[in-house]
Amino acid sequence: MSDKYNNILVIAHGRTGSNLLFSLIYKYFKSICTDEKEIIKNIDPTTSKNKVLDYIKNKIRYLNNITNKIAIVHIKPEHMRPFKITLNDVVNLEVFSSIIHINRHNILARAISSQTKLARNGNRLNGVKINMNEKTILRNIQNEFDNTNLMIKQIEKLNYKKVFLHFEKDLRINYNHKKSIQAISSKLNIPIKIRKKTLIKINRFSYIKKPNTHSFMDFNDKIKNFSEIKKNLRNTPFEWMCYQNDNPIGDNLIISMYINHFIAMLNLKNV
C-alpha cells in the first residue's frame, strides 16, 4: 500500500450516498483531493483489465503528485464487473491504504432513486410514475445482496484502515453527518480541517426534527402499485422499507433469506 499518502478507496453501489459523502469530505478535510470520483465510469468497456488497473494506479499517483494531498476515488462494483476486476486486483495496486464502504439497505428506496435519476436525465420526470412490475426494477437483487455481503467480508480481512457507513443511519439524516465525519477522521487517522467556502450536496429527503414521523420519499407518487406492495410487505422483514423510518435494518444475511419472497411480491419472477 501507499506509504506516503493515506489514499482512500470508496466502494459503493450507485444511489447509496457517495456524492453526498464526497461533498462532506470536501468540506471537512482540506488534506483530501476530491477531484476524481467514479474513476472508471467512462472507460471503454472493451479496454483490457490490465489497462484499466494501470489507469487507476497512474491516476492516483498523478493526483498525489499534482496536489500533494490524499486522493479519494469511488469505484462501483457494477463498474468493475465488465472488466472482471476484483477487490484484490485493486488492493494489489498498492496505492490505497484506507477503504470506505457504503451500504444502502432499503432496496425499494434505492430502486426508486435509480429510476428517478434515469427519468430526470431523460427529461421525463414530471408526471412519471414508476411501475414496480417493470423488469428493469430490482433486477438480480439476490445476487446484489450476496455480492455486497461478500465484499464486506473481503474488506474486513484487509490490513487497511476502514470505515463502514450505512446510508440510512450515517448519510441520509443530516444531523448524523458530524458523527460520520468524526468516525472517518478517527478510523482513517485524518485530521478535520474545514474549508471556508464549500458547495455541499443537499439531501432533499433528510429529516430535520422528527425522524420517526415523516417519509423521506413519497412512494405513493413513485410506484403505481404501491398500495399492493405495502399490503404484501405487512408483517414481513421488509415492512419498514415502505415507511423509510429508523427501525432496525436487520442483518443482510437475514434479509437475504426473504429476498425471493420479496421478488415474488413485486411480480418479478421472470426478471
Contact indicator for 190, 31 with CB cutoff of 8 Å = yes
pTM of the model: 0.76
Average pLDDT (158-179) is 91
pLDDT-above-90 percentage for the chain: 45
Determine the Cα–Cα distance for residues 121 and 125; give it in Å rounded to an integer.
8
Cβ 113 vs Cβ 15: under 8 Å: yes
pLDDT of residue 140: 52
List 33's β-bridge partners, or say none: 71
Could you give the domains of the chain?
8-265 (3.40.50)
Phi and psi at 100, nearest 5°, equal -115, 125
In 3D space, the residue among 32, 35, 37 whose CA is nearest the CA of residue 14 turns out to be 37
62 alpha carbon, distance to own chain's centre: 25
Cα torsion 43, 49, 51, 52: sign: positive
Percent of the chain with pLDDT over 70: 68
pLDDT digits (tens, 9 = 90+) for 3-59: 578 999 999 988 899 999 999 999 999 999 998 888 999 999 999 999 999 999 999
Asked if residues 185 and 163 have their Cβ atoms less than 8 Å apart, the reply is: no
Q: Please name every residue paired with 72 in a beta bridge, in sequence order, or none if there are none.
A: 8
